Structure 1
Amino acid sequence: MDNYSPAGLPDTVTPLGGEVYEIDTRLAGYDGITAGYLIRSDRPCLVETGTSTSAPVVRDSLHALGIGPGDLATIVVTHIHLDHAGGVGDLAAMFPSAEIVVHQKGARHLADPSRLMRSARTVWGDRMELLFGEMLPTEAARIRAVDETGEVDLGGGRSLSSHYSPGHAKHHVGLIDSHTGDLYVGDAVGVYLPATGEVRPATPPPDFDLDASLASLRLFHALAPQRLLFAHYGPVDAVPDTLDRSAEELRVWVDLVREARGQRAGDLDHAVAMVREKVDERYRPLPDTGDDVTIDTLAGVEGNVTGIMHWLDRLEQERGQDRTPPA
């Protein structure tokens, strides 16, 4: 690794102690929406890449931290959504010695992102290019898939352990650092808002599952982390309180969507309007920065309600099938 000066770091980089550095990946050029993290260990590891358009920002931040093209040992993503993993192909090319680690249910989409990109274009339409850019494929030989658990060697007896944590996505893992006790939570705990200190749900379609989400939060409790590192956004020391609040918010949102669905089945607009009115009372308003892109773009009411509705529809269908007598 090259020499670097902590005093001369760019404003995209924040030291967090324990040789861990937060990198603001500058989604669509905006601050404070998506974060990646460098563990500057004997075998340097990047957790989360941000989007494809973020890749130059991440590369320059790593270089400022003394990580040259041949130095990065591992790139790990908590899941394959484009705000977390869209830059994998770009950064794999920029750092050709890095192994890419992902849950097995997401591995094929890193090797061939065409299906993932088609799905994202359907959701995001004209905003796709601004927000995410184009995810490039990664050589399959460089991808290591993990299952229920896995381990990344950080060197010097330090490791990063992965733990399968679905609920937000079927291909989601949490990652805990054996040296610092930091738990990289991806989106499994939701979205943390430093400006207000609140945590809000992230329940997008098609994979949201309340039971799986709550089980993942219980798993995170059991891992007894010292700190939570959110991709949206930043470090949180109040671990048990934050995990408990995340579970509470999930239940509140699901109950509200159930209520709205009971009033007008299948009426998404009604559910969104009702939930928005109710949750506006729960949260402090965010500062008005004048930005066109905010965290509400990625984890807003409409997307969350759509994910919960999709899950409730799926539950109803499964229960209907269970009641169907055999032919």
Structure 2
Amino acid sequence: MDTTINPLGDGVYEIDTRMAGYTGITAGYLILSDRPCLVEPGTAGSAPVVRQALSELGVGAADLATVVVTHIHLDHAGGVGDIAGMYPEAEVVVHEKGARHLASPERLMRSARMVYGDSLDTLFGELKPTEAARIRAVEDTGVIDLGGGRRLESYHSPGHAKHHVGLLDSQSGDLYVGDAAGVYIPETQDVRPATPPPDFDLDAALKSLRKFQELGPQRLLFAHFGPVSEVDGTLERSAEELRVWVDAVRDARDLGLDLDHAVAMVRDRTHERYAVTRKGADPELSAKYEVLSSAEANVAGIMHSLDQHA
């Protein structure tokens, strides 16, 4: 099994978790500290890839101390149950609003199947339950001990999801942003929104981005995809893109457009903003990111939010 491991310094390793076989679309991170910690295990289908990568980095079944997820969406946390089974000593850390779904994922999986249908199995696989006694729920803030005085500090950062947290490494200054800062496309340096239903909330999302800036991180580590050193500019761009998309969807909604027509209008208004969707863009790259964060899902999430606030 091929693995792609990228050393980022300070004992941090990016692992391409290969969602649905795609490369460069979902990243997990191993912090190889005194108490090794895996951030974002990825999908259920990614679990064998992650185990192979950890093995190559010298982390055996009894060595992993902690698994942390920024939120419980299946591209980030679908593999938690599998990884918990492979690493029986690891504690699983998640925000309190997501903890019950890791212990009893049936409702989450039913909802996901309603959205994705038969493609769910190909994209994500099945989230297996994790023993409740192994799950530690954090609240607005929390601390994960990485050993040797090193800490991973969690900060509740809703907007993309109610159960989302950002994670700041006390030693490296890395901030694991999950989906709260959107999707970063390393091939083009684009930042695009991630606003799926049912939790998207613009005000909460912008507040979370301001919190991230106040934390003063040295680097942003995106689950989609990779490290970014231009912290302030990237977070400002993320906020700008959110406002652009919400304004576009609001205009479509005010015109009484249905979802399909709203998507078409938003695509027309925003495609020039991103190298990945401009005329002449690599069609494979465009298709890859449409699978990950489709315009339809983003528009649907914004429309749902506007309806909730109407």
2:288 counterpart letter in structure 1: T
Give 1:30 deviation, angstroms.
1.3
Residue 246 of structure 2, aligned match among 230, 248, 254: 254
Residue 207 (str. 1) matches residue 204 (str. 2)? no
Residue 313 (str. 1) matches residue 307 (str. 2)? yes
Change (3 A) 1:176 1:109: same
Q: Which string of whole-angstrom CA distances, capped at 9 and with x for unpartnered residues, describes residues 228-260 of structure 1?
A: 000000000000000000000000000000111
Give me the whole-angstrom Cα distance separating, in 1, the residues matched to 2:213 and 2:125.
Answer: 35
1:288 counterpart letter in structure 2: D
Give me the whole-angstrom Cα distance separating, in 1, the residues matched to 2:94 and 2:78.
Answer: 13
Give me the whole-angstrom Cα distance separating, in 2, the residues matched to 1:315 and 1:143.
Answer: 34
Residue 135 of structure 1, aligned match among 119, 127, 131: 127
Does the aligned pair in 2 maintain the 1:10–1:64 contact within 8 Å? no
2:293 counterpart letter in structure 1: A
Q: Which string of whole-angstrom CA distances, capped at 9 and with x for unpartnered residues, describes residues 146-196 of structure 1?
A: 000000000000000000000000000000000000000000000000011
Residue 272 (str. 1) matches residue 263 (str. 2)? yes
What does residue 12 of structure 1 align with?
Answer: 4
Give me the whole-angstrom Cα distance separating, in 2, the residues matched to 1:211 and 1:218.
Answer: 11
Aligned with 1:141: secondary structure?
helix
The share of aligned pairs that are identical, in percent, is: 68
Residue 298 (str. 1) matches residue 292 (str. 2)? yes
Does the aligned pair in 2 maintain the 1:51–1:87 contact within 8 Å? yes
Give 1:11 deviation, angstroms.
4.2
Give me the whole-angstrom Cα distance separating, in 1, the residues matched to 2:91 and 2:43.
Answer: 18
Give 1:264 deviation, angstroms.
1.3
What does residue 175 of structure 1 align with?
Answer: 167
Residue 282 of structure 1, aligned match among 273, 276, 279: 273
Does the aligned pair in 1 maintain the 2:28–2:38 contact within 8 Å? yes
What does residue 319 of structure 1 align with?
Answer: none
Aligned with 2:273: secondary structure?
coil
Aligned with 1:80: secondary structure?
coil
Give me the whole-angstrom Cα distance separating, in 1, the residues matched to 2:137 and 2:94.
Answer: 5
Change (3 A) 1:292 1:211: closer
Give 1:285 deviation, angstroms.
2.8
Give 1:10 deviation, angstroms.
5.9
Give 1:289 deviation, angstroms.
6.3
Change (3 A) 1:23 1:211: same
Aligned with 1:184: secondary structure?
strand
Give 1:45 deviation, angstroms.
0.1
What does residue 322 of structure 1 align with?
Answer: none
Give me the whole-angstrom Cα distance separating, in 2, the residues matched to 1:290 and 1:256.
Answer: 26
Does the aligned pair in 1 maintain the 2:190–2:276 contact within 8 Å? no
Residue 153 (str. 1) matches residue 132 (str. 2)? no
Give me the whole-angstrom Cα distance separating, in 2, the residues matched to 1:79 and 1:34.
Answer: 14
Give 1:283 deviation, angstroms.
1.1
Give me the whole-angstrom Cα distance separating, in 1, the residues matched to 2:276 and 2:236.
Answer: 22
Residue 76 (str. 1) matches residue 68 (str. 2)? yes
Give 1:293 deviation, angstroms.
6.4
Give 1:296 deviation, angstroms.
1.5
Residue 48 (str. 1) matches residue 40 (str. 2)? yes
Give 1:12 deviation, angstroms.
1.4
Greater shift in the superposed pair: 248-257 or 294-303: 294-303
The number of equivalent residue pairs is 307
Change (3 A) 1:293 1:121: farther
What does residue 57 of structure 2 align with?
Answer: 65
Q: Which string of whole-angstrom CA distances, capped at 9 and with x for unpartnered residues, describes residues 176-230 of structure 1?
A: 0000000000000000000110100000000000000000000000000000000
Does the aligned pair in 1 maintain the 2:276–2:285 contact within 8 Å? no
**TM norm structure 1:** 0.92
Q: Which runs of 5+ in 1 are unaligned?
A: 1-8, 317-327
Aligned with 1:294: secondary structure?
helix
What does residue 263 of structure 1 align with?
Answer: 255
Give 1:284 deviation, angstroms.
1.0
What does residue 215 of structure 2 align with?
Answer: 223
Give 1:294 deviation, angstroms.
1.4
What does residue 22 of structure 1 align with?
Answer: 14
Give me the whole-angstrom Cα distance separating, in 2, the residues matched to 1:230 and 1:152.
Answer: 19
Greater shift in the superposed pair: 193-202 or 9-18: 9-18
Change (3 A) 1:291 1:197: closer
2:260 counterpart letter in structure 1: D
Give me the whole-angstrom Cα distance separating, in 1, the residues matched to 2:133 and 2:288.
Answer: 36
RMSD: 1.4
Does the aligned pair in 2 maintain the 1:30–1:293 contact within 8 Å? no
Residue 77 of structure 2, aligned match among 85, 90, 100: 85
**TM norm structure 2:** 0.97
